[in-house]
Amino acid sequence: MCLLALCAAGLSLLISCQHARGGAVRFRKVIVLGVDGLDPDLLTNFMAEGRMPNFARLAAQGSFRRLTTSIPPQSPVAWSNLITGMNSGGHGIFDFIHRDPKNFQLYFSTSRVEGPKHNFHLGSWVIPLGSGSAEQLRHGKAFWEILDEHSVPNYVYRIPANFPPITAKGKTLSGMGTPDLRGTYGTFTFYTDDPTASLGEVEGGETVLVEVKNNRVVTNLIGPDNTFRKNSPPSAEPFTVDVDPLEPVARIAVQEQQFVLKEGEWSGWVSVEFQLMPLIGSVKGICRFYLKQTHPRFQLYVSPINIDPRNPALPISTPSNYSSDLAKQIGEFYTQGIAEDTKALTAGVLDDKEYLEQTHSVLAEHRRAFDVEFPKFHDGVFFFYFSSLDLNAHMLWRLTDPQSPAYDAALAARYRSSLEEFYEQIDQVLGEVMPKIDDNTTLLVLSDHGFAPYRRSFNLNTWLLNNGYIAVKEGAGGDASEPFANLDWSRTRAYGLGLNGLYLNMRGREHEGIVEPGPQADALLREIREKLLEVRDPKDGSRVITRIDLASEVYQGPYARTGPDALVGYNRGYRAGWKTILGAFPAEVLEDNTNPWSGDHCIDFTKVPGVLLSNRRIEAQAPALTDIAPTILSEFGIAKTKDMMGQSVFQSR
């Protein structure tokens, strides 16, 4: 009788718990390892070579599929597809960069940070009347918001396109899209006394000329724009470097901290507080120093000033103190969305060895966070993101590709296996997860896209100019520092922007639009599509573009018509050129890509699928990123929302 009563009580408790979760299944675990840029072909090869035993075991025991990526296959778009279960028409993210069609101002697609709307001017000071704001521009419900509604615990580490992090009950840390303290995707500073160095701003950085006087360098760390001052000049905090007269070593003093670095050494994280207004306004950041050389020339690299996770100047986590708690456990860490300093390698400020040291330290931080958080996971959803394979495939592809214009045999001999080593580290992480898998656990290991070589650049705007779709003002050249500065919009019918975007100069949408929406626009798009698909590389006759997707055909949802009108899908080996993506017009339509950024995925989406592995049998033969959110929800018995396009990959279709 007693036993019966006990069973009844237990059952009622179970039912009440079930009810408390709004009907969601309890005690289920879903682990998602999101590995940006994990390429199915490389993975298959490495598994066959025995370099990734844990992936091989998972593929053998469960399932391994190619995962259809987003259109276009860019990370902010792809991860937004995964997060919301919708495509760009639903979540409104089409590229890294969007434009305001009314004034052609470019902005980061995923977030907007603005200062206070009203200010009071007092001499050279500006007193804000209110606070600024950080706004996330991705639309649609994230899968963890729905999990929260059903009281399913969840943890989401650095998922892209989640800055500032949306309100959540669980712990989340923002990832790709999180700016540095200067509000950029990451701006390094390089200090040198070499007068022959090219000074000033480069993409993603700045070179500052310093004077070594009595073996001492006194200069400034450059911080965020000081909005408390008229015209918002950049804030600065002085620091001193004392170089030993003979030995390759220096002492660096920043505010109250000092440390010694040998040539070729990295510092740990150094805190710096930028005073914006005495007693009232200051922001804290963190940065790392790398002493590249002391003699005969002084060369010092300082990383982008990251938002200090212990005192974040902008929201980067939920709850807001989570970033600080994590920092207490693992030490300070990169908070900027793209932590790997690819720009410093591209600018020649860091060489391959130095870049690899930096990027290994980024992965080490992620692994420390993983080692702290994963053991705490017992119930619900655990999502953990790794960026290393993506950024390093971008930068290291040339070392394994003799056809790359950036191929260097000596460098290749030295660093050929570097990318494989990063793959092996991800395999090690999977090796930590596998023993924790039980019957109640679903493991998903996935990537947002694969990879391809990037050997040749196609300058879409130059092609449009040469083919009469773009007109420049009389007497002006096509190229200018401002995007589209010299265009004659009254005679321009189409333009390229971003990595895959082709836009029509549409009447009623663009400020000086001339193309009528409807049949005229459709005909123009068909005409351009046919011509672009015919483009051949004069070098070897290869097709440059293998598909063009029309927005009207591939996007569904309320934002379907706010992005590009067509998406240019490049062949493997090709990509949009560096300048054309920001609205410039290089002289040549096709040119070699000699940049260390030698691998890419912003091409024809069918040529760069991602991967999906699971410990369970995947029924879907062609799963897509939009299936992942419904899959996660389905594991807890939660129905997908009506906006979600996909369905659980474990359901037969």
Summarize as ranges the residues that interact with another protein (CB under 8 A): 214-216, 242-251, 258-262, 265, 321, 324
Which residue bears the tokens 């009788």?
1
- State how far the Cα of 399 lies from the Cα of 401, in Å rounded to an integer: 6
Q: Which two tokens stand for residue 101?
A: 């069609």
Nearest-approach distance from CB 324 to another protein, in angstroms: 8
Contact 378, 26 (CB under 8 A): no
Smallest distance, Å, CB 245 to another protein? 6
- CB of residue 496 to another protein, shortest distance in Å: 50
Do residues 451 and 39 make contact, with C-beta atoms less than 8 angstroms apart? yes
**Least distance from C-beta 457 to another protein, angstroms?**
44
The answer to whether residues 298 and 285 touch, using CB atoms and an 8 Å cutoff, is: no
CB of 303 to another protein, least distance (A): 19
In terms of CB distance, is 74 or 267 closer to another protein?
267
Q: What tokens does 4 get? A: 């019966």
| DSSP one-letter string for 233-252 | PEEEEEEEEEE-SSSSEEEE
Minimum CB separation of residue 327 from another protein in Å reads 12
CA pair distance 556, 90, nearest whole angstrom: 6
Across 84-144, where does the E strand assignment appear? 97-99, 106-108, 111-114, 119-122, 125-128, 133-136
Q: Compute the least distance from the CB of residue 251 to another protein, in Å.
A: 5
Q: How far is the CB of 216 from another protein (least distance, A)?
A: 5
- DSSP strand E in 565-624: where? 566-570, 573-576, 590-592, 599-600, 610-614
- Cβ proximity to another protein: between 258 and 621 the closer is 258
CA–CA dist 545, 538 (Å, integer): 13
Q: How far is the CB of 131 from another protein (least distance, A)?
A: 22
Closest to another protein by CB, 102 vs 216, is 216
Residue 22, sorted as left (phi over 0), alpha (psi -120 to 50) or beta, turns out to be left
Cβ atoms of 611 and 67 within 8 Å: the answer is yes
Those residues with Cβ within 8 angstroms of residue 40's Cβ, 6 or more apart along the chain or in another chain: 66, 450, 609, 610, 611
Rank residues 261 and 399 by Cβ distance to another protein and give the closer one: 261
Judged by CB, which is closer to another protein: 134, or 291?
291
Nearer to another protein by Cβ, of 161 and 243: the residue is 243
CB of 309 to another protein, least distance (A): 14
Nearer to another protein (CB atom), residue 211 or residue 588: 211
Note whether 217 and 241 are within 8 A (CB): yes
Task: Between 311 and 441, name the residue whose CB sits nearer to another protein.
Answer: 311
State which residue, 217 or 589, has the beta carbon closest to another protein. Answer: 217
Nearest to 384 by CA among 173, 601, 70: 173
Strands 380-386 and 29-35: parallel
Give backbone dihedrals phi and psi of 605, rounded to 5 degrees, phi first.
Answer: -65, -25
Query: How would you list the strands of the sheet with 441-446, edge to edge?
Result: 63-67, 610-614, 441-446, 29-35, 380-386, 154-159, 171-174, 317-318
Nearer to another protein, 51 or 251 (CB): 251
At 213 the three-state DSSP class reads strand
